[in-house]
């Protein structure tokens, strides 16, 4: 029995929020971009399966992204909240401007992320830990929603975590995967294991 996951990264956040490390902070979406990207929401509304279970995280940017998809043609759905699919916690580094990231990190920065995969911010979590958290949640959801389509509006770090779990790759390798705002990543879980159907597919116009 196959369970299909349709993972969408939330819409672009407000410009002032992008200037600092926001992680699990509940920052607003960019209102201008919400209007400008209406064709992308319509494309997602047409592309996503019906019926489907819908899941968001506790952060409002995922709920607002789902609501924008509903507003552009997908039938309104009940949104379940899954805390385990939230973004990486940056702990004490939340709110720091990117340029003020502590200069003496335990590990060299990753080429495509401010931190290495195993760098753990004080009172936060590493990408290694994100992969473990998200992987356990995906296994649980695959069991509780067996045979169904599941749409998840989540975050770049969590979606990379789901991919790392499905592909059984390390944190630094997962950080090489580009997950853009509003992109679609599809995973499938069957008795034979996990399969990746697409990564970072951008909705057309």
Question: Which pLDDT tens digit goes with each residue over 89-146?
Answer: 999 999 999 888 776 677 777 888 888 899 999 999 999 999 999 999 999 999 999 9
**In the prediction, which pLDDT does 13 show?**
98
Whole-number average pLDDT of the chain: 95
User: Residue 3: pLDDT band by 50, 70, 90 thresholds?
Assistant: very high
42 confidence band (pLDDT: 50, 70, 90)? very high
pLDDT at residue 37 greater than cutoff 60:
yes
Owner of token pair 């200037």: 19
Cis upstream peptide for 51 (omega within 30°):
yes
Return the pLDDT at 204.
75
What is the domain partition of the chain in residue ranges? 3-201
Q: What is the pLDDT, as a whole number, of residue 173?
A: 97
Q: Say yes or no to pLDDT of 32 above 70.
A: yes
Contacts for 79 with CB less than 8 Å, ≥ 6 apart: 54, 55, 56, 63, 66
Spatial CB neighbours of 201, under 8 Å, sequence gap ≥ 6:
183, 184, 185, 186
> Could you tell me which residue, 198 or 101, shows the higher pLDDT?
198
Domain 3-201 adopts which CATH fold?
Rossmann fold (3.40.50)
Distance CA 155, CA 188 (A): 19
Please give the pLDDT value at position 104.
Answer: 65
């Amino acid at each position: 029995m196959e369970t299909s996951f349709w993972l969408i990264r939330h819409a672009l956040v407000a410009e002032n929020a992008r200037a600092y490390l926001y992680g699990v902070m509940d920052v607003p979406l960019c209102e201008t971009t919400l209007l400008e990207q209406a064709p992308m929401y319509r494309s997602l509304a047409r592309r996503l399966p019906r019926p489907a279970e819908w899941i968001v995280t506790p952060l409002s940017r995922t709920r607002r992204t789902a609501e924008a998809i509903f507003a552009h043609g997908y039938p309104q759905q009940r949104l379940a909240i899954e805390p385990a699919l939230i973004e990486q916690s940056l702990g004490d580094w939340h709110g720091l401007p990117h340029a003020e990231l502590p200069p003496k990190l335990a590990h060299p920065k990753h080429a495509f992320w401010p931190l290495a995969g195993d760098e753990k911010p004080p009172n936060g979590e590493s990408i290694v830990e994100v992969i473990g958290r998200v992987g356990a949640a995906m296994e649980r959801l695959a069991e509780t929603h067996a045979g169904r389509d599941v749409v998840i509006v989540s975050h770049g770090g969590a979606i990379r975590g789901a991919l790392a779990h499905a592909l059984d790759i390390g944190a630094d390798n997962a950080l090489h995967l580009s997950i853009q705002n509003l992109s679609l990543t599809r995973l499938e879980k069957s008795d034979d294991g996990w399969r990746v159907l697409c990564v970072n597919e951008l909705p057309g116009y």
